[in-house]
Amino acid sequence: MSEQTHRSDPRILGRRTLQRDHRRLADLLRPGMRVLDVGCGTGAITAGIAKKVGPEGDVVGIDRDESLLALAKREHQSIGNLSFENGDVLSLNVDGRFDIVTAARVLQWISEPDHAIRRMKRAAKTGGRLVVLDFNHEDNSWLPEPPAEFGRFYGAFLEWRAVNNWSNRMADRLPELFCAAGIEDVRVHVDDETAQRGDPDFFDAAAIWSHVMESLGPQIVAAGFLAEKDRFLAEEQYQRFVEITLQRQTLAMKTVEAVVG
């Protein structure tokens, strides 16, 4: 497979913010910058980028999913320096326009991330910056251990991803992909997302896997990696686990950045 085929859940995308969910990028943004956000989804983070660069800046969000773009345009239509376009990073054809080209949690869904990085590099101006945030799904953890029913679902999730050639350790692959694209002086930042019981957004953060089981679970079942009854049990037991037992969830993530020469 050479392109993303899953459908992202707008409930997951819509709760994200620039400051909380793309922290390194937030630190790099300055007024007047031109920024391209690849795989912008519902535009929740993209809108934060536009506000940070101010009216003298310019921000473009692209996504291949028209339904998500419709939500983005409707929700953020009042932001004058922000536009959304239908586009796939694998066919991105932009030359040297942007101060920053970024993608957050996007390359994990692409079977040709090397091609995506080269396209993103081409879109950045000389002296511009690539900033890519992604998961190491194999390192995600829960304290205490989640129920066995969820463990079976999560194993099936990882297998399904691997068969589609979507890396379960994309964050760790990013530095070599940057280097292979001729991008030097690569910097890596550990950006794990931790939800601790008692945090104001604990239940919203932990609900990500309930949404994944609901939205992607049917595809995993249809592909033969899990029985529907096991998906249902996993969702039921995980919700109970979050309500009563879960103390801390850690999503293993890294941001990789470099200046384009």
Task: Report the half-sphere exposure of 211 (CA within 13 A, side-chain side).
Answer: 15
pLDDT of residue 232: 97
Asked if pLDDT for residue 1 goes beyond 80, the answer is no
- The strand pair at 187-190 and 124-135 is best described as unpaired
Residues in the chain: 261
Which helix or strand (DSSP H or E) is residue 182 part of?
none
Asked if pLDDT for residue 17 goes beyond 80, the answer is yes
Q: What is the DSSP letter of 40?
A: -
- The strand pair at 82-86 and 58-63 is best described as parallel
pLDDT of residue 155: 98
pLDDT of residue 6: 66
Chain centroid, CA 38 distance in Å: 10
Taking only the tens place, the pLDDT of each residue in 114-159 is 999 999 999 999 999 999 999 999 999 999 999 999 999 999 999 9
Radius of gyration of the CA atoms of the chain, in A: 18
44 in Cβ contact with 13 (< 8 Å): yes
Please, what are the domains in the chain?
10-259 (3.40.50.150)
pLDDT of residue 213: 97
Answer yes or no: pTM beyond 0.85.
yes
pLDDT of residue 10: 85
Asked if pLDDT for residue 4 goes beyond 80, the answer is no
Taking only the tens place, the pLDDT of each residue in 178-221 is 999 999 899 999 999 999 999 999 999 999 999 999 999 999 99
User: What average pLDDT does the chain have?
Assistant: 95
pLDDT of residue 11: 86
